[in-house]
Chains A and B, each alone.
Chain A
Amino acid sequence: MMEWTPAAKDELNRHLENIRPGLEGSGADPAEVLDDIRRHVEEEALRERLSVVTEVDVRRITSRMGPVSTGVEPPPTPLPTHWKSFVYFGSILAVVTVVIEIMTRMCAGSFMDPLPTPWHAALALSVPLGAMVTWRLALRTAPPPSWSALGTGFSWGIALYYSIVFLPLMPLGAVAIVGFGMGLLPLAPFFSLLAVIFAYKALALRFPAKRLAGLTAGIALSWGALFVIELPDKATVVGMDWAASPEAGKAQKGLSFLRRFGSAEHMLRACYMRRSGMPDLLLLTFGSGPVPTDKARNIYFKVFGVPFNSLPAPDLRGRSGMRDLATGFVFDPEQGGEVVGGRVKDLALASSRLDGSVDGLAALGYFAWTMTLQNASSNQQEARAVLALPPGGAVSRVTLWVNGEEREAAFSQRGKAQQAYQQVVQRRRDPVLVTTRGPDRVMVQLFPVPPNGGTMKVRLGITAPAAALTADEWVFQLPSICERNFGLGDLKHSIWIESKQGIRSLAAGLAAEPAAGKAHALRGEVRESDLAAGLVVSLESPPAKAVTGPDAFGGSVHQTVDSTAARTPVVLVVDGSKSMESHVPAIARAASGDPAALAAVLAAAGDDVAQWSGAEAAGRLAGLKTVGGQDNVPALIRGWDAAAAAGGAVVWVHGPLPVVLSPVEGLTQRWERRPDGPVVYEVPAIGGANAVAGALDASNRLVRVPRKGTLEQDLAGLLDRLSGARPSAVVKRSRGGGSGPRTSEHLARLWALDEVRRLLASGSAKDRSAAQDLAVRYRLVTPLTGAVVLETDEQYKQAGLEVPDPSKGPSVPIIPEPGTSVLIGLSLLVFLWWTRRRRSCAA
């Protein structure tokens, strides 16, 4: 039953009384018309299902019925011509501006991003749409629909918002128009606001009864819509500001907030120094501002547990979902620096081949990794990568193809090599720099990779010992890419490993290749993901107990292999980052094998360190909740202390660690003060960066464990070896004569590498200098030395470097290329044919 309020009844009566005079003398029966209108109002109220009819309802319904008259409505009031011009010009300019911005991202690249999401673009386009619809409604004779003022208000609100945002740019636009006859685009929001205002004026003039019905609500609705679409970005700004705070509590609050509500895209843009969004007119950030790039990268890792550069850079200027047709060049801020940094657009690894030669008797190998980088952009770019070498290995040769010829690197003191590289980078010539980034890791920098499809080809020679998993099981883990600033696409590495002794690989990508004579070979095409996961080549038989090799600087080097089985208490340190989620059960299973062998287990988890005894460790580990990216350094320091107290070692299982979240000085100090302190065995669960290891560059007590099988198998094997259940191998190299088969000069390099590490660990300036001289002499990239290839002899001299002369010092290690082998073979055949012919002629 519908109920009428007294005010509603009064309103209706008042309305009817008002129209009665107009009906007198019209030929109609006034009483009947008034009765009809009353009935119509009641019918409308009934159809709107109103239970209580109020004064407002009556006003709304009678307003909708229009003025009561006996004829048609009078001709509409003429609209001023310039109103139409404003509406059309403002609307068209707005559409053109939005389309140009989407196509070129001109404003986003220069000032701010006015269309960071497709939703922003839709709101911006609602302005010309609203203006045109309002104008058309004003031209119609029929009254506009009830939502018209609401829609107009919505467009009005959006146009007002963008006009305020663009207010600082409007003078520039005006000056540009006067000076250059162009510059309308910054004025588009203002003209579109005028378009909406004039369209609304026309509507209000033609239909006064409709005036203000919903206009204010429409404006409020538009700002509400802006609030909703701006909220994720602005909330992320606030969260990142908190997370970067020096106050631990606030930083933790920021991280928790970002993990729940943060915009991944906004954070990635902050890591890549891309502009994001518009000024904060709605004051959503409450005074918080953007954080510096290095902090943004740390926060990204802490939130997601993966390196920011594991993802390609966001569109140059736009956000996902918005087209980025601009092919403009983005300056690479890390160029010539010491970090890999973000992915660079249009730079890719075009080819990669790894040729290896393994001496199974001496348990050493030499690997030549040849890479060609290609740059599809229109500017020169620098390629940077951190490579994981075979454990215990070092780069012993670097060459660069300059004008089609292979040019050798100079090995020198690290700072000098870096300085030479930076000088040449500034002059945009052809250098390559190789420096270490922690044990068994090097950073390679190449500049410039020429633009427009140009290539740069480099070869790294790596001398490496085989790693003993047990006294009987020896493997080489092949090198891989930990971090890179270039793309890979579908590239596969071409691998070919040869040995005179038997070798095998369980990797699906590598197959035995029939080789000439008694040689063995493995070859295949392997994806980077397989290489990074741990691809090993195993020796079929243990190496000789003793071997000797020549030393180019006189005498020889002797190597002996013994086995031992000693029980070493183990402190297990587990990275609790999100990337480890699927690996935690395997670690728990491996740890449950011999709980008595575990002195303690520590987990960097929940932004803190959890510590358990060996007995309870497996159960607690299985329930470990991984989250974000964890700081492993505090857990390592506590692990080192626990291992030192127990006289044991640390086994550190971790995922990618792209940033150092707290200083490593605590660890380096412990190693410097106690050079014989606990060894830290590093077991990467998955491939990727390890910035913590990079910061521990000079340490010889951080040992990377080759990954051969599953994490559980490899970890259980290591724990067995440390517990003494399986024998370990002890390799010693020394100068001087000895017995056993002879091997190559690489043995002398490995001895030199041992010596450099030993001298470095002592910490004295004298030993450090001796270590540096030794590394330079044996052409090794170590924490003290780097390798740099420059284009001309003159550049070497200018940089104070000795011009590389492969004839001096140890011979340049080579692996014959197929082309060379074929030539040698052909020459031999020709020689044999010629001698036989001579003999037959003589006969």
Chain B
Amino acid sequence: MSGEQQDRAVTDPRWEDELRAGMAAEGDAGGVEPELAALRFLLHARAPAELGDARQDAIWREIDAAIAPVPWWRRRLWIWGAPVLAAAAAVLLVVALRPDATTDSGSARSPSVARVDGSLAEQLEGQFAALAPGARATVARRVDASRGNLRGELLAMARSGGTQGGAP
């Protein structure tokens, strides 16, 4: 190592030229990027480079865009939920326009079936209000059928002289 090299500070920008020249002399074999990165870091530590106003504004714009809250109309729930909401409104309209559509006696909410301008949850609650009376009637009818079957089984058992559950 020469005396000049010993005297030169490690932050001297000529190091980069010499490193690149050395790499070129060896036929561009290997790489000097790690060494150059360390040199640039030391240079920056000694004399921090300042960003231009335009570049600084561009960086701040990128940061603003990245951290800005997503507007409500761009949230995923709305992007996917809006078509579902429209479909729900269509279904609700068809159900509500049926001549025998009645209200839900089993709901604490006011029984307004034709709520088409609310949230998806309200739409679904409206659908339930329209469908529930018929479903309750169906359940009652089928429970009655089960009751009838049960009675028939018990009568058949009694006629045949059988017992149930070990009773005499």
On whether the two chains bind one another, the answer is no
Q: Which residues of B contact A (CB under 8 A)?
A: none
Q: Which residues of A contact B (CB under 8 A)?
A: none
